[in-house]
Structure 1
């Protein structure tokens, strides 16, 4: 079967996982593991800079190899989880998720730059009491005027420093906003048009823009674009330097306001190394101290070298966008047949080596409303063939799958496509594969699935359900969002609005479960597995907590 690869050769990723129990379990710690040097040549290690090698060797520096290059450093205009791993240590918002604890399915919301808040009885007005004495990294004071500057930058088209990219990117955050204003130096008010049941949790999110605060003085001095080269926030680490495609270096903020999260290390270096084997070799050789997403195939060999492995479920899932403009896929029976053709249990057990759990719902593990017992369909290739015949395709049909080689957290995603390709061939559907680097692919997804392509796929899912506003809502059809398959169902829009405005969690979950069933009935999106996140590290690195999130708190890292 045909497979074409279109790539800038810049982005492969890695996603290790392995639950031996159903999701809903608590975090498991895997003991140290290692890779034999027989993995192959040390291709790519020569690209590690001498500066990074030297820095990694210093006692108070931790160098982390991540799966892909980072995007923009402007928090209001930045995309990808990979980038937010860095930004969350520089910039802060009103609240945050506590990522210093494990053994929870959803990290709790805790105060950040707002030390407390009050929500009106009708759920429309949020009054934030801001933390006093906090300073940005450039020494300027954090206060309510600084908050307003940032809000204006995200939302006010007439504001001198308006960030146009932020408005579209952060629709998920501000779609219910009515107004905002300064009450006094340390009090800020936000009013909503309708209640939002998870407004506080959305304030803590990132990866598709994030409502975190930049130093107004730095922008007034250097201009709007200066955030990319001189990002200044209030966080536990300060930006030192970035060499695009090679390394980003942060320094500990010795004056950080939260004594409990003062960094233990002096310097944190993020190295984008897209090839998984090269990341693993960099770890074994000591060029870096930690890596994200080693291959599931490498875990036992990494153990043998005395390297430490930590593993935890993460709030995401992999799923296929179905192109509703393609004639065969306009018939729900065809879409149901495709779902029934997928051997998701085999995929998780054999293809992912157990480092995944089959996924059957658009509601992800770790997010609100997750139901481990829900099934959109059962694996039944014979019934799938009968449905195809009933729909007028007894001999199947040809289509194309556009796929990405991966970004943050991914490993062997093209292998996923090949597994699905084989499953579809068994019911007569011949699907070719074309793969793209991650940056190109996200541009494609944001433009809508191209003609002749039946499916696209990425990982998504959050501890908030805001991502559904970006993916399944009708007003998120490209170019306004990532509803790339052109799924248009007014009922879904209504249910999303009801879930956001629910008065309590039970009511919110009730609406989310109706969304879950509606998507399954329409078979508009087909999930296939939930990943397990993995980090590997040198034995002298400690203090890392792998909370169930796409990004992690590195303030507790120690290097012995």
Structure 2
């Protein structure tokens, strides 16, 4: 599953290093190169490993997800200068890269301006283009070594606060000569994507020491990590306090840091090495957890019921559950016929009974999802979306009749037309003919196999059967996760329909990232090729909004348009159920939105069990 990367605050404490801990991955990372990861190959498996390598000016606090300074020393000062809006950001003076170089304004200015250049002149896409959006970001300037001024066309929450100001910052000293060298080649972006960055200086607490492809990735704690001893305190009155007695850094915001504390974290790293062991099937990873070979399994989908039941009986293992901020979905390639026809997409949507699949077939382990904004993100979720969805609340027979009517409305015909009586398909459709007279041959639905996600595999087979009943020749092809990524983004767009999932950030600007027509290029996020001028206009207004209530109103409209046009059919998600060995490791907390997976297992906070 790909994901939009969200930075989590990295707060670290002076500690005595302990033993190595072993964690399990269910897929090989596609890349550990920042240009590639934040570009065309942003998979969750990469981010589990490199998630703490790069700092940002601002990030989210643990658990409560307050927007707080990270590499910045304070919140930005925002002023209008002529036609532009300037965000003046003071920087921390106690931050050092792993090569001993001090972090300064030069790193910030170089990173942002270079990303901007690569986007505008060479087509850099992915998360980079979401964060440093040329329609909003203008330039970054150095005021002095520890102050930057960042200019935007307007004071956008999505593109300033939750965009460029949360973008990863790279080392200018390391990357500047390599970017200059890449620009002299015939394929600058591919050169950067392929660059071996094993010796790259990083900001975070753990540094890569070995990647044995197909076996493991090993990271070692930095004994010189600048932020050892830092403490994060969240107060119940909403205030936040950050202090590092070793460097003297201090920040407090969102009220007076007094009264009852909700959470206090004083962090490490507490372990010397973290080894991410790669298991390419779930059963092997579960067995490794039971046997004590690993202490935690990274699986963005969470545990299936049978797995959770098995692990609940295992000695030394604890099972936990959290709500999620994501969804699993089908995407149509609207560059291809007949996926480009809205009624065709609506017909398939009408056939899919999410409630039946989630409650009866999947045994209540999953819950239906309809909107591209998950129910769990309650402020931004539009509750009207389900009733807009074709087939919602209908019976088996009614769904099929609606699907047939939608196809007829668009001009489809059959060699043998399907016939529905009550809730029975008395005559299966055959030989679907498109409005242009073309006989529709097999349509491939790429979906993860049972070894990776049995829920999506099962759902894909039901969708194949239901479509075939009325003569839509869909064939489910259950394949490896990385193969789907390759077909969709690397080849590119070599698919009819695919089924994957997203783990999301809290500000729902992913609606523009996934569906704005300007994001439909190679290596970018609009894999559907969706192009709706009305949607684009509203998405632009949403991204430009500086008032939270106006942004919410626009966000609701965007969800309604997508529920009608259906470039995606959002299907379902599950509570994230995880397990770890309490006799080997201690996490600082267990309850957090989207689970411990979402925060990468908080490697700078995790301890070994005593």
With the length of structure 2 as denominator, give the TM-score of the two structures. 0.73
Compared CA separation, residues 526 and 157, structure 1 to 2 (3 A): closer
Question: Which residue does 2:402 correspond to in 1?
Answer: 387
Post-superposition CA distance 1:168-204 (Å, at most 9, x none): 6521112221111111110111111233222323357
CA distance in 1, matches of 2:403, 2:606: 54
CA displacement at 1:263 relative to structure 2: 1.8
Aligned equivalents of 1:285 and 1:74: distance in 2?
A: 33
| SS, match of residue 90 in structure 1 | coil
Give the Cα–Cα distance (whole angstroms) in 2 for the partners of residues 292 and 310 of structure 1.
13
Provide the C-alpha distance between the structure 1 equivalents of 2:339 and 2:455, rounded to a whole number of angstroms: 27
- In the TM superposition, 1:349-364 aligns within 5 A as 349-364=359-374
Deviations 1:66-104 (A, max 9, x none): 121112222232121221122222221111122x32xx5
Counterpart for residue 155 of structure 1: 116
Whether the aligned pair in 1 keeps the contact of 2:105 and 2:147 (CA below 8 Å) is yes
Show structure 1 runs of 5+ residues with no match: 1-12, 15-57, 206-210
Does the C-alpha gap of structure 1 residues 426 and 404 become closer, same or farther in structure 2, counting only changes over 3 Å? closer
Find the partner of 2:157 among 197, 201, 215: 197
Find the partner of 1:126 among 81, 87, 94.
87
Equivalences for residues 119-518 of structure 1 within 5 A: 119-121=77-79, 124-156=85-117, 166=124, 170-175=128-133, 176-198=136-158, 199-203=160-164, 211-219=167-175, 228-254=197-223, 255-257=225-227, 259-260=230-231, 261-293=267-299, 294-306=303-315, 307-325=317-335, 327-367=337-377, 369-372=380-383, 374-375=385-386, 376-377=388-389, 378-380=392-394, 381-390=396-405, 391-392=407-408, 393=413, 394-395=417-418, 396=429, 397=432, 399-405=442-448, 410=453, 412-446=455-489, 449-450=493-494, 453=496, 455-463=497-505, 464-479=507-522, 481-518=524-561
CA distance in 2, matches of 1:68, 1:298: 18
CA distance in 1 between counterparts of 2:515 and 2:451 reads 22
Match of 1:7 in 2: none
1:116 equivalent in structure 2? 74
CA RMSD, Structure 1 to Structure 2 (Å): 3.2
The answer as to whether partners of 1:341 and 1:427 remain within 8 angstroms in 2 is no
Judge which range, 509-518 or 397-406, deviates more.
397-406
In structure 2, the residue matched to 1:89 is 52
**Distance change in 2, residues 1:237/1:168 (3 Å):** closer
Structure 1 residues 369-399: Cα deviation after superposition (integer angstroms, max 9, x where no partner): 1235631320433233323433325435464
Contact kept, 8 Å, 2:328 with 2:570, in 1: the verdict is yes
CA-CA distance at 1:113 after TM superposition: 0.4
Shift of 1:419: 2.8
Q: Which runs of 5+ in 2 are unaligned?
A: 3-16, 180-191, 232-266, 419-428, 433-440
Q: Residues 350 and 400 of structure 2 are in contact (CA less than 8 Å); yes or no, is this contact kept in structure 1?
A: no
Aligned residue for 1:117, secondary structure, equals coil
Aligned length: 490
Alpha-carbon distance between aligned partners in 2 of 1:265 and 1:558, rounded to the nearest angstrom: 7
Q: Distance in 2 between matches of 1:336 and 1:239?
A: 47
Native 8 Å contact 2:304 2:365 kept in 1 = no
1:280 aligned counterpart, secondary structure: helix
Equivalent of 1:61 in 2, 14, 20: 20
Q: TM-score, normalised by structure 1?
A: 0.79
| Residues 555 and 355 of structure 1, relative CA distance in 2, 3 Å threshold | farther
Which one is further off, 300-309 or 143-152?
Answer: 143-152
Query: Against the structure 1 CA distance between its residues 92 and 410, is the aligned structure 2 distance closer, same or farther, given a 3 Å change threshold?
Result: farther
* Higher mean displacement: 324-333 or 65-74: 324-333
Selected match of 2:593 from 523, 526, 548: 548
Deviation sequence 1:384-438 (CA, Å, 0-9, x none)? 3323433325435464233242799955532231132234345443421123333
Structure-2 change in CA distance of 1:322 and 1:465 (3 Å)? same
Partner of 1:77: 36
2: CA distance between counterparts of 1:410 and 1:108? Answer: 32
What displacement does 1:222 show? 7.9
Q: Per the alignment, in what secondary structure is the counterpart of residue 124 of structure 1?
A: strand
Distance 1:310 1:322 in 2: 35
Q: Give the superposition deviation at 1:508.
A: 0.7
Q: Does 1:530 align with 2:573?
A: yes
CA contact (8 A) 1:461 1:467 kept: no
Q: Cα distance 1:363–1:91, how it changes in 2: closer, same or farther (>3 A)?
A: same
Higher relative contact order structure (alpha carbons within 8 Å, sequence separation ≥ 6) = 1
CA positional deviation for 1:111: 1.3
